[in-house]
Amino acid sequence: MRFTVRIKIGLLLLTALMVSCNDKVLSERDAPHHYSELKTITQVMDHHPARAMHMLDSVGGREEIAQWSVFDRNEYVLLSVVAQYKNGILSPQSQDLKPVVAFYDSLAKLYPQDKELQLLLAESNYYCATEKALSKKDGAVFNSYLQSLRIVETYFPNDDSYHVRRFKALIHTRLGEILYDYNLMHQAMTSFQNAAVYFNKVHDTVGEAAMIRNEGSIYQVNKEYEKALEKFNEAARLAPMDENLFLHSKGGLFLAQQQYDSAIWYLERSFRFTDVHATNNAAADLAELYRRRGDSEKENYFTNYYVSSTFSEANKVPTKMEIDYLYAQFIAERTASGAKHPERKLELPIIIVFAVLALGILAFVIIHNRRRIRHIEKQITVIEAKHQQESEGKDAQLKNISQQLSDTQQELQRRSAHSNFLACWNQYIKSDIYQKINASVAGKDIMTKSVTMYPKLKLRDTDLIELVRTMNDCFPEFSIRLLRSYPRLSSSDLRHCCLAVSGWNDAEIAVLEGISYSGANRKTNRILDAMQAGNSLEQALKMFMENNW
């Protein structure tokens, strides 16, 4: 601080020495060589910046300018930077205006009543801030804009000229933009309102509409959506505007009305197309909406975006507090212009208090976001467990349904096979050979001990052959399938099977084959053993036939 004061005192003494050596150095009469040309360039700068740039280039070369008076050289540098800015070619390589600001500041202290000099000091501060803005030094930029505003409000409080009014509008605009960027919405609203008043006084409807839109953006960030839409509509009546500015306000109104589908449509577009504050608010609202809908993936995406944005905002806290402090100090000075400035010794405690407060806010943000992240992780774990449980339940349900379908298919196949078997069986029992054999044994009580009483019932070989052929007709390839399935069976066993499946018992079969009962019984048991069946040869054969037809 003391070093800065010493530099300022040195510059003042140097300027006083220059003036004392040549009391005409600043006058138009003796040497400003180019006062009238620079004045003309200043007059055309606002409306014809390209022409002003051309006029500056034609005034003189580098060597010639070095011979000018100190005042003319500094004014030429200032006008060069202004022309570059208004023509959109200002860059970090442009000439530094800090020496120009120091020069005019020294002169303004020597000649405090010279309004033209004060206006040059205000303009040099303004465009010096514009240069600093290229290097993202927002604290220094804001302070330079405040210095410029302090000068014009002090020396031109009631000036109605176009140039001064427009200059005030531009200063308030830049201050409002910085305050809005650092989320100091109340202060930004005041700046934009002041800028809108001055743009209205110079009849710049485009500038006035831009300031009203900025007011609407602040209402939108504060979730006063109806006021925001009123401001946007008012701005649209003055000049065309981007429809994307309406998105978040409309989405917020639909959200308040619990019309979630419409709210999501507008909020998602606001998330993509609006400024950083509306984007962060949209991310928070979308995270809450998707949480209510159970869409954890989208909820996590918008929550993570909001958390990361909050962390990036936390990095701006020290600069934000510096800007807030500078603005509050400026307002306090303007409110009580006669009040004394705080003593220098109080600056260090104030800085310490602000630093501690900034660290406290940063710590709170980090802790709050960590808690939210842990909450999100717990929700993800619960959702994954629920999803796994539901998947297991669905797998068991699908397995049960598949088993039921398989059982149903098997039952349908069984019924179809049984139906086919019944059709073939009805055909068989209606055949002549079956009717003939059945008629020969019908009504005769052929018991085990009376088998030898019916020698005339013995079938001829042709009858047995006809029986097998009929069985093959009704049940296609019956003989081939039976013998292929049970290769231990003989052709005699095949005839025995045809008689057994027809429903005749061993006693009746013994009479029909002309053998003893014990022989017929042994043959039956041998066939059952070959088929690995139970005690009933008739049932075993019918089951074989049902499974094959």
Q: Which of 174, 81, 173 lies closest to 128, judged by CA? A: 81
Query: Considering the domain boundaries, does residue 25 fall inside one?
Result: yes
Instruction: For 6-37, give one letter per residue: b (16+ CB within 10 A) or e.
Output: eeeeebbeebeebeeeeeebbeeeebbebbeb
Task: Report residue 86 as tokens.
Answer: 């208004």
Query: Considering the domain boundaries, does residue 331 fall inside one?
Result: no
pTM for this entry: 0.54
Question: Is residue 21 predicted with pLDDT exceeding 70?
Answer: no
Percent of the chain with pLDDT over 90: 2
Least confident range from 203-207, 336-340, 434-438: namely: 336-340
Instruction: Report the pLDDT averaged over residues 128-154.
Output: 80
**DSSP annotation string for 35-67:** HHHHHHHHHHHTT-HHHHHHHHHHH--HHHHTT
pLDDT-derived band of residue 410, with 50, 70 and 90 as boundaries? low
pLDDT-derived band of residue 135, with 50, 70 and 90 as boundaries? low
Task: Report residue 151 as tokens.
Answer: 């000068």
Question: Is residue 10 predicted with pLDDT exceeding 60?
Answer: no
Instruction: Report the pLDDT averaged over residues 459-488.
Output: 88
Query: Considering the domain boundaries, does residue 347 fall inside one?
Result: no
User: Residue 459 gets which letter from DSSP?
Assistant: P
Q: What is the pLDDT of residue 525?
A: 92
Last residue of a domain, one of 133, 153, 178: 133
Highest-pLDDT range among 107-116, 190-199, 218-227: 190-199
Last residue of a domain, one of 105, 133, 161: 133
Question: Is residue 20 predicted with pLDDT exceeding 50?
Answer: no
Compute the distance between CA of residue 457 and CA of residue 514 in angstroms, rounded to an integer.
8
Highest-pLDDT range among 149-153, 389-393, 455-459: 149-153
Q: What would you report as the CA-atom Rg of the chain, rounded to the nearest whole angstrom? A: 53
Instruction: Report the pLDDT averaged over residues 173-191.
Output: 87
What CA dihedral angle connects 12, 14, 16 and 22, to 10 degrees? -150
Domain residue limits at 120: 1-133
The Cα angle at residue 350 between residues 344 and 356, in degrees rounded to 5 = 150
Last residue of a domain, one of 106, 133, 160: 133
Q: What amino acid occupies position 303?
A: T
Instruction: For 191-209, give one letter per residue: b (16+ CB within 10 A) or e.
Output: bbebbbebbbebebeebbb
Query: Considering the domain boundaries, does residue 200 fall inside one?
Result: no
Compute the distance between CA of residue 539 and CA of residue 384 in angstroms, rounded to an integer.
57
Domain count along the chain: 2
User: Residue 457 gets which letter from DSSP?
Assistant: G
Mean of all residue pLDDT scores within the chain: 78
Task: Please answer whether residues 519 and 510 qualify as being in contact, where contact means their C-beta atoms are separated by less than 8 angstroms.
Answer: yes
Instruction: For 270-299, give one letter per residue: b (16+ CB within 10 A) or e.
Output: bbebbbebbbbbbbbbbbebbbeeeebebb
**305-361 pLDDT tens trace:** 777 777 676 677 788 788 888 888 888 887 776 534 334 445 567 778 778 888 888
Compute the distance between CA of residue 259 and CA of residue 266 in angstroms, rounded to an integer.
11
Task: Report residue 283 as tokens.
Answer: 């991310």
CB proximity list for 64: less than 8 A, separation 6 or greater? none
Query: Considering the domain boundaries, does residue 14 fall inside one?
Result: yes
Query: Considering the domain boundaries, does residue 447 fall inside one?
Result: yes
What CA dihedral angle connects 154, 158, 161 and 165, to 10 degrees? 70
Question: Is residue 417 predicted with pLDDT exceeding 70?
Answer: no
Q: What is the pLDDT of residue 414?
A: 56
Least confident range from 289-293, 373-377, 445-449, 515-519: namely: 445-449
